[in-house]
Structures are given as C-alpha cells and as structure tokens.
Structure 1
Amino acid sequence: MAPVPISDIKVGHIDDVQELKKTKSPQIPERFIRDSTERPKLDKTDPPSCSNIPVIDFSKLCNGNKVDFCNEIFKIKISCEEWGFFQVINHEIDLELLDKIEEVANEFFMMPLEEKKKYPMNPGSVQGYGQAFVFSENQKLDWCNMFALGLEPHYLRNPKLWPTKPSDFSETVEVYSREVRKLCKNLLRYIAVSLECCNEDVFEEMFGVAVQAVRMNYYPACPRPDLALGLSPHSDGSALTVLQQGKGSSVGLQILKDNTWIPVQPLANALIINIGDTIEVLTNGRYKSVEHRAVTHREKDRLSIVTFYAPSYEIELGPMQELIDDTNPCKYRRYNHGEYSKHYVTNKLQGKRTLEFAKID
C-alpha cells in the first residue's frame, strides 16, 4: 500500500503526529518546522548524555544510617542549586507498576485515532487527548501527542475524559498516582531538610490538598528530527515533576545547563525529578527551576509519563521568610497559586517566561 501524501490527510489529522508518521513521508508539514534558532543540533558535536546529574538513593533517605542520610541530603541540595534535576533510584514504587503504567499508556496511544478523539483536549484546556499550549493558527507545533488527566483534588477530574479502553487504564492510573503522590510528599520533606528549614513538613502544611495531574507524552519517530522539537523549551509551573520514560525509548529529554542543551539518559528503573517554578519562588531563587525540552529521533518512538505535583489553587504563595535576608533580598511577590496556574496554562511554552508573573521588578 502506497504512503498517503501529507496533503491528503483529512483536516483534523494534520496535527496528529502518529497519523503523520503513517504517511512515511520524508518531510514534515511546515507547521512543525522550527525557526533556525530553535532547531536542535543533532550532529556529532552534540554533548554526551549527561552523567553528572545527581542520583539520589531514596532507600538511604528512608532507611540508611546518619552518614548515608546526610550524604543524600547534600546531593539533593547540590542538584536543586546547580541542576534543578536529579534521578531517584530505589524509590519504593513497585517496578511491576511502572511496567503496567507504560503498558496501558502504550495501548491507549496505539488505539485508532477515532477512539482517542473521544477524549479531546479542547482549546485552552490541558486535559484530554491532543496538544496543549496551542493558541494560534500559525503557532509552531510540537512533534508529540499528549493525553492528560487531572487527579487531585477530585473536583479537578473530568469523568468524560477517563478512557474505557484499555479496560484497566483507570485502575492502573489510580494506583500509580497514589504511589507517586507518596514519593512527592517525601521528596518535599527531604528538600525542606536540605534547606535547613526548622519544620521538615513546611511544604505539606503550606500546600493544603496538593494538586496532582498526569500527562502521557508520545513522540513518534520523526523523519526530520533536525527541524522539529518534541516539546518546546519550558520550565514547569509545579512544585515537583516526576518523569518516567518508557523502556526502549529514545533519549529525548534535554536540560539547559550553562547555555548548552544537555541530553539526559534515564537510569534503568529510576525516576527523573525536577523542581518547578513554585519551588523557585518559595526558596526565593535559592533552588531554581530549569528550562528543558524534548527532541525527536529519526527511527525510535518515545513514551514518557509525567506527574505534576503543586499546591492547592486556593493557597497564597511567596518566598519563605527564613530564606530572605540582606544577601538574598525578596525576588518574588506573593500571589494566589490558582491565578498563577491559570496564567501558566493559558500561555504557550516559552522558556521561563511564565515565571515573570511572580517576579518583583
């Protein structure tokens, strides 16, 4: 069967990259072609996959001796100050559960387009199937299909967007999300310890009923990875982000370090953690959110499962007083987190520009 020309794809399919892959065209539509300044450099001079991002052994935080505990806390401090990212091993989430969430995510993305379109991501929304952060006809698109769901508090859930296929999708997401929520709560406690806060539960007490969402990203192989991006450069608006990369996926995550895009190679069975804009504000810039992006691969698909963990929308936030002094004056104003979240999801991804919402001039 001959490949379908891109020009013959029905309207409504043109932005679905899995459908575009089926055309087997060596080219990609103009709307996915980035300006020359934004295109990834994929030649042999690319830096090697980053092996310097700290690796935190969660078991030493929970069950290790005092020396092990202090060493891991120090690594958290360095990673949050210098990288904004770290990987967590021995995180106590069942590895079979990690395999299961990948399985149901892959099954969902492999369903026919008409089935997936029953759960549409409407314009201005960040829940459902489609592409988020798209606000204009001429905006460049990411080479990625997304499926996102609000999880906690329960009022954020839209039952119409929870798929009935695969049959065990909802149950798996529920169990997985409960385990990731526990991990986030513990990591925030250890981050507080790394900041030498008097109260290690300061974030949990401040956040109220924390907001949690999950987004599954599917990046098909792209015939022109030198022209497209899987996900535009951005920092996350959350407090913590937990990323699980599908086994066998291409390396896609890159972080901006010293003005250089560095690829991150996930460790087997590890979870990648990054701090979001909320932690940068609360720590008055001591711990900084980091700009990151996803690139595509010419031959390999990539799956990632991303959990966002953030304060309640009703909470007012600002820098913690104990982290403000003469050497580090207040950099951010106090604001309602719900207002910031609305600002974040109603603007396209543009590096760390959304954080300007909170900055003091």
Structure 2
Amino acid sequence: MAPVPSLPIKVGHIDDVQELRKAKPATVPERFIRDMADRPKVVPNLSSSLDIPIIDLSKLMKTDKDEVMQLKTASEEWGFFQVLNHGIDLNVVEDIENVAKDFFMLPLQEKQKYPMAPGTVQGYGQAFVFSENQKLDWCNMFALGVEPPCIRNPKLWPSKPVNFRETLEIYSREVRKLCKTLLKYIAVSLGLKGDVFEEMFGVAVQAVRMNYYPPCSRPDLVLGLSPHSDGSALTVLQQGKDSSVGLQILKGKTWVPVQPIPNALVINIGDTLEVLTNGKYKSVEHRAVTHKERDRLSIVTFYAPSYDIELGPMAELVDEKNPCRYRRYNHGEYSKHYVTNKLQGKRTLDFAKIQSKISN
C-alpha cells in the first residue's frame, strides 16, 4: 500500500467493537455516536427503481451490445453495479468468507498480533483515524497489501486460521482476473481499445480489506463505515451471505441500500477511473450502517494502477464540450494523500481537481 506519514499520530483510546459488544451489549460509547446530521435515517419503502444495475459478465464477454450499454449507464449514472456470472468459483468465494469470519472470531490477543498502526492501512484495527476526538466507525477491519509483492507486510499475514494465506492468494488471483476483464469492457463502453487500461496501469496494485460489523444496540446513532469514495480504479465487494443489509450508496441526496443478490459481487468505480474518464464515469459516496441484531461481514478488494504511473484524463475524453477537469499527477502521491486523510465523502478527489475560475 501507499507510503504513510512519518509524524506520530495521537488517536486516543479505540474500543474494539466486538469486545465492547461482548462486555456491554447495550452500551455505545460517546466516541461512536454521530452528530445529528450524520446519523443514518431509515428510508421507508424505497422504490425498486432505486436498485443498482445488474451486469451479466457472461453476456458482456460476448460483447452483447445491450449489456455493454447497461455497463455504460451503470458507470455514468450510478458508479456501482452488481455483477452476475463473474467467473469466480463459488467454493473460492465461500472459502474466503469462512477464513475472514474465522479470523474475526479469534481471541482479541491473537488478532492484536497484527496491529494496524495509526496512520497506516495494513493490519487489524480501525483505519483512517487521525485524531483523539474523531468519531469512530462501528467496525473492526483487517487490511493487507497483496500485489505487487513489494507492498506486502509479511508480519501482518496471520498464521491463524491456518489456511488464511493460501485462501487469500487463490481468491486474490481470481479477483485480479475479474478486474482486468471488467476494465476491458469499461474501455469498450467508452469507445476505447479494450486493453487501454491494462497497458496504462503497469503492475496493478491490489489490496484487500475485510470488515466485520457486530450488531449494535443503537444502529440509529452510529455508522459502520463513514461516507467516502474509493481511491482505486475499481473496487470489488463481496458481502457475507448471511449478513445484514449494510451497504448504502448516495444517489442524488438519498442513501440507497444495496440489496445483496445471491452469488453476485458488487463493483464500484473508484476516484482513479473518474479522473481517467474526465468525470464521465463517476466514483460515488458510499457508507455502511449497522443492525441491532445481525452482524455483517464484507471482503473488499481495491484494484489500482502502479504507484509510479502518472495519471490524468485520457486525451480521447477531453474536447471543447468536455474540458479537462483534473490535473495530471503521480498515482503514488494520490494514494499517500488518500490514506493519510480521514474519510470525508469525495473530498480526497479535490487533490486532482482543476478548480474552475469564477469571475465576479
């Protein structure tokens, strides 16, 4: 993963939410309670028209025109879609879910052998915490750099569960193939050469983060994960099959819950792809909410260009009607900027935006 800040960060005491749930199931410490404006509101009877698009990869791989158009619409209007027939063996999907759950169910002292240091995004704990008064997410995280091997921290790869490493390697290889395939058809939907992103990205960076959200006695007061967009090109989300509905995306001004579809994966456009497409395809704010009685597990893979690549809007997507909206920058610098700032909606993308000059 990207470099981390050198200055020490004081984050104060961070309760482990699983331990908190065990010891004081009815208690929500003040640091988890959101300001009134940030609390999740229940939206009754949302129309099914607000279900995110579904893409059938088997049709896409036949360059089915309707499916390519559906992908284009999903990327332009939603920034999210669910993909069916994704080609990853369902045993592989089940295995990664099982080892992730097994890891989170280990005793706390075992998980604490792999600590996430403040200001970093690898290990066990809470990421994106940079101050002592910052509100905390009702979530435990375990994050690892996967590819290329130079971003791995071997000390953070757990020895328990015993099959964790092998299972993650197999799963990550399959997700990497999926990301390459999806990017090929995203390029086609833009009228570009299918291999344009693979050629541009170099040795793509891949990281995984496993999130565990225990039940919370007051889900109306907390967030499982703060609103944010992803810094990646593509993000692949696997939701635990018995998990509560927790993912919400911001559509207009409405937080829309994403209803899990059996055997589907949720894909979202990251900031990097928004920049490369000059804003044509959008990264979208999303968050996680909690449930009073049910827990939730998710496994998230982030796929992005090599850190040494220079990025900016692609020339084919810039013209008089669509002037350049983002500057060129080094992707490693952007990644460092992303991981050293707390999650604040899409604010991290300001790093790349060309500020328009408005005359008085």
TM over 0.5: yes
| 1:49-104 deviation digits (Å, cap 9, x = unpaired) | 77631111111122x4x6xx111110110000000000000011000111100000
Pick one of 70, 78, 86 that aligns with 1:91. 86
Q: CA deviation at 1:357?
A: 0.1
Distance 2:174 2:13 in 1: 35
Matched, 1:282 2:245: no
- Find 1:159's aligned residue among 154, 172, 177: 154
Alignment partners' CA distance in 2, 1:264 and 1:51: 9
Does the 8 Å CA contact 1:49/1:263 hold for their aligned counterparts? no
Q: Note if 1:253 corresponds to 2:252.
A: no
Residue 354 (structure 2) aligned to one of 351, 355, 360? 360
Matched position secondary structure for 2:38: coil
Name the SS for the 1:97 alignment partner.
helix
State which of 217, 222, 238 in structure 1 corresponds to 2:232: 238
Task: Name the residue aligned to 1:41.
Answer: 41
Residue 174 of structure 1 corresponds to: 169
1:339 matches 2:327? no
Name the residue aligned to 2:103: 108
- Cα separation, 2, equivalents of 1:55 and 1:97: 22
Give the letter aligned to residue 135 of structure 1: F
Q: Is the 8 A contact 2:51 2:258 kept in 1?
A: no
> CA contact under 8 A between 1:14 and 1:20: conserved in structure 2?
no
RMSD of Structure 2 on Structure 1 (CA): 1.3
Q: Is the contact between residue 51 and residue 259 of structure 2 (CA under 8 Å) also seen in structure 1?
A: no
1:265-304 residue CA offsets vs partner (Å, 9 max, x unmatched): 1100000000000000000000010000000000000000
Gaps of 5+ in 1: 1-11
Gap runs ≥5 in structure 2: 1-11, 356-360
Q: Structure 1 counterpart of 2:120, which letter?
A: S
AA aligned opposite 1:351:
G
- TM-score of the aligned structures, taking structure 1 as reference length: 0.93
The residue aligned with 1:9 is none
2: CA distance, partners of 1:217 / 1:274? 17
Q: Distance in 2 between matches of 1:13 and 1:57?
A: 45
> Are the equivalent residues in 2 in contact too, given 1:256–1:290 (CA < 8 A)?
yes
Q: Which residue in 2 is equivalent to 1:137?
A: 132
One-letter code aligned to 2:189: S
Match of 2:293 in 1: 299
Map of 1:180-199 to 2, 5 A cutoff?
180-197=175-192, 199=193
Post-superposition Cα deviations, 1:116-163, rounded to whole Å, max 9, x if no partner, equal 000000011100000000000000000000000000110000000000
Kindly, what percent of the aligned residue pairs are identical? 75
Large movers: runs of 4+ above 6 Å: none
1:275 and 1:45 mapped to 2: Cα distance? 27
Task: From the superposition, tell whether residues 50 and 302 of structure 1 become closer, same or farther in structure 2 (CA, over 3 Å).
Answer: farther
- TM-score, normalised to structure 2, is 0.93
Deviations 1:158-212 (A, max 9, x none): 0000000000000000000000000000000000000001x21111100000000
Alignment partner for residue 77 of structure 1, among 72, 77, 93? 72
